Amino acid sequence: MKARETLGALAAGLLFGVGLIVSGMTDPAKVLAFLDFAGAWDPSLALVMAGAIAVAHIGFRATGRLAREGRADGRLILGSVLFGLGWGLAGYCPGPVVVAAGALSPAALVMLPALLAGLWITERWLARGAARDQSK
Amino acid sequence: MTVDWQVFTPWSALAGGLLIGAAAALLVWSAGRIAGISGILAGFARRDGFSAWRIAFVAGLLAAPWLVGALAPQWPLVGTHWSAADYPRLIVAGLLVGIGTRLANGCTSGHGVCGLARLSLRSLWAVAVFMGTAGLVVFAVRHVPGAGA
């Protein structure tokens, strides 16, 4: 069970990374060209998502993991605004920045530590808040 | 909105998308986990977060360019969009992406690919907001005189 989990995750990570490279999403210029709706628009990212969602949907349906989560809240919206600001500035979201760092892209190697710092500070801060709520 | 047919790569985009979707399906089938990159990376902030599946998945992501480089040396890997003068912008962007995706519980993969594939309404909101915001940033930088960097 453990071996299947670990080997499956390794293969999934490889496949995910290869997919990002094949689709061109590890090149920030291509991502920014998608986000530039008013300029010379490159729709590629929409096709990446359509293909990925279609296949992943089959997987989630087959494993009984379709969504049961509730509604959007303020934290989700605020977080998505902050993420959108950073994504629009850099053209890198978390997956591509990790893969590009693996390829030793200097820009990705500069951005990844800042991204991890942001993630980990926020994760610790949220965990502390949750612990405080429990002790009340 | 004008499509730039010179740079639009429909077939490689679709093929890459299918691989990403297959990866998400493989991870949920083999490990029962959702392929959300920001959530997986955030796990390393917890003492119990260094589990084998998480380390293996990130190792796969890091190794992917080496696999592509070995199989198809001509395939472009990461582009050369940013130079050293842009590093301050990338650091600010990294902090925003890190804080934002943790607050929102997901990024382009967790909400965009997996969430939408799971038919999650929360994820649809997240995608609309982060894509809309990112579009506004690019609009300001590229089309508003004086706002660009």
Query: What confidence tens digit (pLDDT) does each residue in B47-83 have?
Result: 888 999 999 999 999 999 999 999 999 998 888 899 9
User: How many contacts, defined by CB atoms under 8 Å, are there between A and B?
Assistant: 510
So what's the pLDDT on residue B65? 97
pLDDT tens readout for residues A19-76: 999 999 999 999 999 999 999 999 999 999 999 999 999 999 999 999 887 789 999 9
Rounded to whole angstroms, what are the CA distances from B10 to A44, A101, B6? Answer: 6, 25, 11
The reply to whether residue A79 touches residue B37, judged by beta carbons under 8 angstroms, is: no
Taking the C-alpha atoms of residue A31 and residue A92, their distance in angstroms, rounded to an integer, is: 8
* Residue written as token pair 């940033």: B137
Structural tokens at position A113: 């530590």
Domain boundaries, chain B: 10-143
- What is the number of alpha carbons within 13 Å of residue B127 lying toward its C-beta? 19
* A61 in Cβ contact with A47 (< 8 Å): no
B39 contact A CB<8A: no
CA distance B65 to B73: 10
Quick check: A19 and B142 CB within 8 A? no
Q: Which amino acid is at B91?
A: I
User: Does the beta-carbon distance from B41 to A17 stay under 8 Å?
Assistant: no
Chain A residue at shortest CA distance from B75: A22
Distance between CA atoms of residues B69 and B33, nearest Å: 28
Residue B149 has pLDDT above 60, yes or no: no
Does the beta-carbon distance from A22 to B24 stay under 8 Å?
no
Nearest CA to B52 out of B73, B30, B67, B69 is that of: B30
pLDDT exceeds cutoff 90 at A103? yes
What ipTM, to 2 d.p.?
Answer: 0.95
Q: Do A9 and B54 touch (CB under 8 A)?
A: yes
Give percent of chain A above pLDDT 70. 99
What tokens does A79 get?
């977080």
Residue A94 CA, chain-centre distance (Å), reads: 5
Judged by a CB distance cut-off of 8 A, whether residue B144 touches chain A is no
Which letter does DSSP use for residue B3 in this model? E
* Angle subtended by helix axes A94-102 and A2-23, to nearest 10: 90
Q: Which two tokens stand for residue B14?
A: 């679709």
CA distance to partner chain A, nearest, from residue B72 (Å): 10
- Nearest Cα of chain B lies from the Cα of A58 at a distance, in angstroms, of 8
Identify the burial level of A130 via C-beta atoms within 10 angstroms of its C-beta, where 0-12 means exposed, 13-18 middle and 19 or more buried.
exposed
A-chain residues near B50 (CB < 8 A): none
B1-36 per-position pLDDT tens digit? 789 998 899 999 999 999 999 999 999 999 999 999
Contact list in B for residue A1 (CB cut-off 8 A) is none
- Who among B60, B107, B143 is closest to A93 (CB)? B107
Average pLDDT over residues B78-102: 95
